[in-house]
Amino acid sequence: METTILYRPVGPKELALIAASGFREFPPRLPEQPIFYPVLNEEYAADISRKWNVRDYGAGYVTRFRVRKEFAAKYPVQIVGDSTCKELWVPAEELPAFNENIVGLIEVIKEFKPETQIMKPILFYRKGEPYGEFSNFAPFPFQLSGRSWPTTEHYFQAQKFAGTEYEETIRETKSPMIAARLGRSRAHPLRPDWEIVKDDIMREALHAKFSQHPNLKSLLLATGDTELVEHTKNDAYWADGGDGTGKNRLGQLLMELRTKLRNEQ
């Protein structure tokens, strides 16, 4: 299948909606946006993002994606300004069909922020809220240690009892909430080295989760260098304790993973 590579500059809100789709489609246009404008070269997209998205929205991103060549050819190339400023003009009502012809995932390849702007941290906790994908309760199954795990919470709690039947009981439980309750129960003895290895257990679970789900990897990388904070008063070790006094180890491990994934690109 032949494809055409296109680019689109976006702000943070549009990027969040793209992420919510699993990086598979662009969101519907607003009433005052009758045309969807993908562009044909990265430099032009970066220039728009740097000059306009940063000014208007506080940050700008360049996305890259592929569209079936035959479908893209329906739209004549429009030159706006000099010869490098090439766009396709897609009527808003045709965007659903355009999305259906995207091949693969929408990638975030560049990020722009004002140098003088102090970026607010990204707070996350519940899986149904913005950046809830970062929660250990978020349902993104992965393979690790030769088995499938429904969530990182299942894996983390089960490893407290590695090598026992109780480990498998936790792995097979239906929800991460129940897995957490089983893992916190002291009816079964913890492995003796738990306090030593628990951060590494979480680290390997996060790496498996984000490396095996390209949309999650893209979402994490799209946060740039913004601080990530699990925000809840319910946990002062993995989260910030609700008032910033907690260790925020989950947020720290996600930022560590973000750097690792960025360096691997």
- pLDDT beyond 80 at 82: no
8 Å CB contact between 77 and 20: no
* 2-43: pLDDT as tens digits: 999 999 999 999 999 999 999 999 999 988 899 999 999 999
* 153-167: pLDDT as tens digits: 999 999 999 999 999
Rounded average pLDDT over 239-246:
94
Q: Identify the helix (H) or strand (E) that includes residue 16.
A: helix 12-20
Rounded average pLDDT over 48-58:
88
CB-facing half-sphere around the CA of 103: CA atoms within 13 A? 13
Query: Of 17, 25, 28, which is closest to residue 57 (Cα–Cα)?
Result: 17
User: Which contacts of 49-57 are long-range, i.e. CB under 8 A and separated by 24 or more positions?
Assistant: 49/9, 49/10, 49/110, 49/112, 50/112, 52/9, 53/9, 53/10, 53/11, 53/112, 54/112, 54/113, 54/114, 56/11, 57/11, 57/12, 57/13
CA distance 119 to 226: 6
8 Å CB contact between 132 and 126: yes
Query: Of 24, 33, 162, which is closest to residue 96 (Cα–Cα)?
Result: 24
8 Å CB contact between 55 and 47: no
For residue 39, the SS3 value is strand
- pLDDT beyond 80 at 265: no
* 118-149: pLDDT as tens digits: 568 999 999 888 899 999 999 999 999 999 99
pTM of the predicted protein model: 0.62
Domains within the chain, CATH numbers bracketed: 3-112 (3.20.170), 122-264 (1.10.357.40)
